[in-house]
Amino acid sequence: MSEGTGPIPGSDLPDSLRPGAGPAKLRFSPARQDNRCRAKDYSTSTVAEETILRTTAVDGVARLASGGSKEAVEALFDFLDVPSLSVKRAAVEHLMGVKQGESLRGRIEERLCPEYRFLRDVRPIDVRKVTQITDPEKDLTDQGRRSSKPIAPDLMDRALHRLGCGASSWF
């Protein structure tokens, strides 16, 4: 890469996935993980890891689709069959974002179950434009305000109770 120029689109892709590389088959298949080499880390659940991996895969395929790859667009449709709302949402968002996105609405609707068709109308929004709650207690009743106040536990009484002593025995 010469000085002052940005990366060439697709230059970081494997040869088989670069535009014009030939009939690459972009079909989604569930990831197989080799857990024998992984340290046990319980900070993230397997479901969360799979969701992250799959939505990242959708994003990668979408990058190819935005470059005009018809195979990638078809692969995005394959993601609509994955039983994960997050993956379906990402696939719909990217399908609607490709050049011919609006013309794909009917196909998207056909592939989605009725309870997921709302995804066609979900649009990303800048979090700074979302209405923020300035006074969360504004519409609460007085009883609601009192019950929402955290009550500090009396740790001395609790500790003494566990020891079988009452607070009065210390004074």
What is the phi/psi pair of residue 99, to 5°? -50, -45
d(CA 75, CA 66): 12
d(CA 119, CA 105): 11
pLDDT of residue 171: 44
pLDDT of residue 142: 81
Helix, strand, coil shares of the chain, percent, nearest 5, are 55, 0, 45
For the chain, give the percent of residues with pLDDT over 90.
Answer: 31
Q: Which amino acid is at 137?
A: E
pLDDT of residue 169: 47
Instruction: For the chain, give the mean pLDDT.
Output: 75
pLDDT in tens, 5-41: 444 444 455 555 555 555 555 555 544 444 444 555 5
User: With 80 as the cut, is the pLDDT of residue 114 above it?
Assistant: yes
pLDDT in tens, 126-157: 888 888 888 877 887 887 777 666 666 667 76
pLDDT of residue 125: 83
How confident is residue 63, by pLDDT bands cut at 50, 70 and 90? very high
Q: What's this model's pTM, rounded to 2 decimal places?
A: 0.54
